[in-house]
């Protein structure tokens, strides 16, 4: 505004009302979104935060009274740190496997068959197709396929790769497998979006400048697809770390595979210890924010393009 004082009044005046109106419209358009966030994120978050400091009242079902009892956090960390570590370990494994599986798919759709629009769209539909079936149903289907009576175990036992007492369901393998499977579309789509925009003339330039195909991939293609890699890994890692379906004993998990999501679920719905459940939720959120913040800074997204 200090600058506008130096400008002759006549030149500035015609633009002012228009700009102010533009600002008002922008604000009006933001209102629904802001209201939504306030109502469905900020209020529940504050409520959760308050609950996490409450004291559990064992006398009543699900009762607690308000306090500033930070001991909840100490208690849950002491009791559930293995589940925390396991959650992030499984989520990390699932993210890495999903990346390894999705990158070639996304490259094939976005670069190799770029000119064949029909085939490309067909394959994209196939990537998204699992979404047409409920995620719970798909996970249950895998439970059937991998169950002790299922075809996979049968074949593996027949060829002697599995003993008669071995299982697939209930193992860490099954949980990580389920997480990987369920999040592959979330990894593939952002990777595809990045690779689809890749200028293939840059690959030729890499080849022309003495870089083999592998070298060109690591020096040119992969760095240019980093925005997709980062969004894909975040879209996989964050929900996978908090997932409670795959690791649940009703689905692919077993007694030894409980993730933090399963603990939170049972605290809220089975043992109804709301303060501890809330403290676990806040901790999970905080750890994810720290990990993601560190990751995004290291990956240097600001530096890309």
**92 belongs to the binding site for other proteins (CB under 8 A):** no
**215 belongs to the binding site for other proteins (CB under 8 A):** yes
* Token duo for residue 140: 């249950």
Q: Min. distance of Cβ 293 from other proteins in angstroms?
A: 22
**117 belongs to the binding site for other proteins (CB under 8 A):** no
In the list 48, 50, 124, 211, the residue contacting other proteins (rule: CB under 8 A) is: 211
In the list 48, 92, 111, 285, the residue contacting other proteins (rule: CB under 8 A) is: 111
**217 belongs to the binding site for other proteins (CB under 8 A):** no
For the beta carbon of residue 20, count every other beta carbon within 10 angstroms.
Answer: 10
- Cα–Cα distance for residue pair 187/97, rounded to 1 Å: 10
Q: Could you report how far apart the first and last alpha carbons of the chain are, in Å?
A: 32
**11 belongs to the binding site for other proteins (CB under 8 A):** no
Closer by beta carbon to other proteins, 47 or else 112: 112
**223 belongs to the binding site for other proteins (CB under 8 A):** yes
Q: Min. distance of Cβ 184 from other proteins in angstroms?
A: 23
- Count of residues binding other proteins (CB under 8 A)? 28
On whether the CB atoms of residues 261 and 247 are closer than 8 A, the answer is yes
Per-residue x/- track, 187-206, other proteins (CB under 8 A): ------------xxxxxxxx
**113 belongs to the binding site for other proteins (CB under 8 A):** yes
Half-sphere exposure of 61 (CA within 13 A, CB side): 2
DSSP letters, 135-162, are: HHHHHHHHHHHHSTTSHHHHHHHHTTSS
**16 belongs to the binding site for other proteins (CB under 8 A):** no
Strand partners, 65: 55
In the list 153, 175, 220, 280, the residue contacting other proteins (rule: CB under 8 A) is: 220
Closer by beta carbon to other proteins, 144 or else 200: 200
Distant-in-sequence contacts of 284-292, Cβ < 8 A, 24+ apart: 284/84, 284/87, 284/241, 284/242, 284/260, 287/84, 287/88, 288/238, 288/241, 288/242, 291/88, 291/237, 292/234, 292/237, 292/238
Binding region for other proteins (CB under 8 A): 111-115, 199-213, 215-216, 219-220, 223-224, 304-305
């Amino acid at each position: 505004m200090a600058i506008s004082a130096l400008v002759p009044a006549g030149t500035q005046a015609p633009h002012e009302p228009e700009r102010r109106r533009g600002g008002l419209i922008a604000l009006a358009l933001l209102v629904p979104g802001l209201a939504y966030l306030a109502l469905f994120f900020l209020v529940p978050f504050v409520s959760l935060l308050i609950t996490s400091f409450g004291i559990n009242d064992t006398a009543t079902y699900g009762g607690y009274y308000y306090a500033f009892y930070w001991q909840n956090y100490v208690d849950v960390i002491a009791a559930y740190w293995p589940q925390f570590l396991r959650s992030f370990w499984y989520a990390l494994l699932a993210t890495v496997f999903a990346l390894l599986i999705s990158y070639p798919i996304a490259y094939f759709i976005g670069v190799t068959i770029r000119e064949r629009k029909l085939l490309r769209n067909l394959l994209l539909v196939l990537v998204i197709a699992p979404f047409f079936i409920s995620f719970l149903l798909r996970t249950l289907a895998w439970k059937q396929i991998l169950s002790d009576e299922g075809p996979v175990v049968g074949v593996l036992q027949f060829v002697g790769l599995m003993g008669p007492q071995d299982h697939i369901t209930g193992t860490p393998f099954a949980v990580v497998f389920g997480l990987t499977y369920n999040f592959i579309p979330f990894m593939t789509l952002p990777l595809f979006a990045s690779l689809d925009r890749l200028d293939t003339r840059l690959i030729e330039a890499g080849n022309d400048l003495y870089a083999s195909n592998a070298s060109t991939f690591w020096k040119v293609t992969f760095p240019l697809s980093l925005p997709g890699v980062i969004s894909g890994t975040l879209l996989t890692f964050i929900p996978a770390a908090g997932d409670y379906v795959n690791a649940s004993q009703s689905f692919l998990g077993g007694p030894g595979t409980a993730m933090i999501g399963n603990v939170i679920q049972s605290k809220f719905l089975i043992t109804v210890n709301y303060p501890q459940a809330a403290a676990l939720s806040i901790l999970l959120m905080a750890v994810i924010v720290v990990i993601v913040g560190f990751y995004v800074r290291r990956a240097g997204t600001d530096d890309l393009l």
